[in-house]
Structure 1
Amino acid sequence: MRRALAPPIATPWTLPVIDTGIWATRPTPARRWTCERWLARGTVGALFGPDGVGKSLLGQQFTTCVQTGSPFLGLPVAHSDAMYITFEDDALSLEERQGAINRALGLPANVTPTLSSLVGSEHYELFDMIDGQQVPSPLYRGIAARAVSIRAGLIVLDNISHMFGGNEVVKRDVVHFLRCCDQLALETDAAVLLLGHPAKAEGSEYSGNRGWSSHVRQRWFMDFADADSGDPDARVLVRPKANLSKRGETITFRWRDWAFVADAEIPIDQRASIAANAAASGANAAFLACLRKRLQGGDGRHVGPSPGPNYAPAQFEAMPQAKGYKRDQLKAAMERLFELDAIETATFKVPGKSREITVIRERAEPPELPPRTGPEHCPRTAPNSSPELPRAHTVYKYKGSGAPEAPAPHFSPDDLDWSDSSDADDDR
């Protein structure tokens, strides 16, 4: 009679203990940074930022800088092979972006990091769920194998929403995912940078459970610069989480010719022009903010384009929405906005009086150019490429009943406060 074999005894797990005895026999090794003070090798970091701010461009540019040893927004990097893997951009998008990056960095066209587009791929999650556990997927194994083969020092993954198959608000799911990303960083001896979006709530720096911030060793946040500056190309990169260095460092840079350039790297002779353009954009934004306050969310008091009691630049100068811009700056902004067709004039008949008054309003969208026999036009004109249909600011005539003789404006005479109208208040 044969005896049944005993089941194999599972090897018990033992706690790994660091041999601290060697610490006294050698100097402490220097930490290896992929980007000095911002991202260390063998660790996981995360870059968050709102839609359209340029996270993908920044990620590909960062990868290119590491691949070539070029400074990243003025920061020193460790020269090594690098990988950028995207789930959102196709190969043509990567090629176009790479060309702009190389031109900005002064690199030959044939110099690129390892790029991979997984748009439409069936392999999109880093880890598979088996019996309630996250295990490395074919995608994970493919990335790890490639990184080890080229000795990559950086792996940028764009973005989290595609790679993470769990629930972002469930702490256990988040921690398990990031723990597996740690495994990727340790296995490849590379820095892993995850790209992601913040929540919709104002002021959010990441989306979901706090584990997205607490578990990563470095967290970056990229944003548009101060909205009050009126400069749409200005960006800021901050480091709100830094376990391995000092937190809070800020880098200012800008989008320029389809790549990013640190402010400090812009030639001095070009900075004045950029500053002037930014100031003009800021004044334009301030003028529009004042106009909207008056006509949409304010007291409804009208303003006009010509000197007088209701002259727009004079009225706006003291408003908080003017952000400190003076009358001359607001006047210049008004002229620019007229030329841009962002604002226009509208003429109304003053209730109870025989005269008319011309006021300024924002143009919601550029209207179709009317024929010459259409509504009257304000003498203020803008440059035009067509001599037959001159671009001008349409003046809408309203009868006493309020029925329009031309398409209705964005507000009606009833929306305006006529109590301070007088014979001297003629802003036409």
Structure 2
Amino acid sequence: MTTAPGQALLTITRRPETVFAHGHGSWLTDEGGKRYLDLVQGWAVNCLGHSPELIQRALAEQSARLVNPSPAYFNRPMLDLAERLVALSCFDRVFLASSGAEANEGAIKLARRWGSRQRGGAHEVVTFDHGFHGRTLAMMSASGKPGWDQLYPPMPGGFAKARLNDIASVERALTPATVAVMLELVQGEAGVNPADRGFMRELRALTTERGLLLIADEVQTGIGRCGHAFAYELYDIEPDIMTLAKGLGGGVPLAALLCREALNCFEPGDQGGTFCGNPLMAAVGLAVVNEVCRPDFLADVRQRGGRLSLGLQAIVRDHGLVGERGTGLLRALVLPHDRASDVVAAAHALAPVGLLVNAPRPNLLRFMPALNIDDAALDLGLDLLRQALRETGA
């Protein structure tokens, strides 16, 4: 008698009983030999697909040289990655971390440290309804996911909420204690909701006028996901602080907090972490950034994003769905009912080839394929999606 997998794991989510054994590019294979076309890629983490040679090589070469000398010392990959990110962006300083939540916590700490020095102790941060910034206590409180700010009471305070694309709601949320406004330029967990260009221009102008910091959470949108190195480039604005993770490591745990020189105000000991800036992860990040942030690679991402969008629009027309939306290769399909989880299950069960998609909302499917997915795999994914929709009557 076989035992269901996961009996020794703490229950944190519902998982199918599939156990994956290996992956390559856009494909995963389970222990039974069934293949799955993966349009989730670890929630936009595997920007170059599963187990790319570039990452294998970076890990092998760096692990043979130096793994972790402690964050108390410099190492060459740490320095090189920081310099590369500065050269690509509008920022001057970089702090390397291991997860998006950790980077976002660092952004709040930095804003509050700056507020204590430059704004008379201002510490409140305006965030947005339906936003998502991570699963630490503070980042759950900062997030706008319904009920999250009360899940583990007492929760950290200091986060006021506004509505995305509603500048008046931001103005109402501001107080003399406000130090910053923090948002995702595309709300991923909320269902791929992009900020409007006009709203972002107004928000940048408002924060500048009031002397507030603008923090861009680009954990999901950064490193090519939206067809540019960073999504803020789409809006013709420059934030004061930005956070990165997910695609930055291409599958390994790596994150970054970037800021302008004027915000370089941590005192020694204020911020850190055992694995922050370790050379093993930094070497991978540098290899990933150098590959993804080439102009020709980013142009291809924009082309593939357009192809995926057109394919999803055709599915909307043929199946009578509500619509599709997104930016680059971060896209969503809106259903006319709350049966997205049924479609996910049906897609997973397809034979002989399964399809992996994500349902962040009951009526919505999200797509985050590898940035280098080829046209044949994209078209196959759309065909498999149509099959799953038919099988569920969706």
> TM-score, normalised to structure 1's length?
0.28
Larger RCO (alpha carbons 8 Å, 6+ apart): 2
Structure 1 or 2, whichever has the larger Rg, is: 1
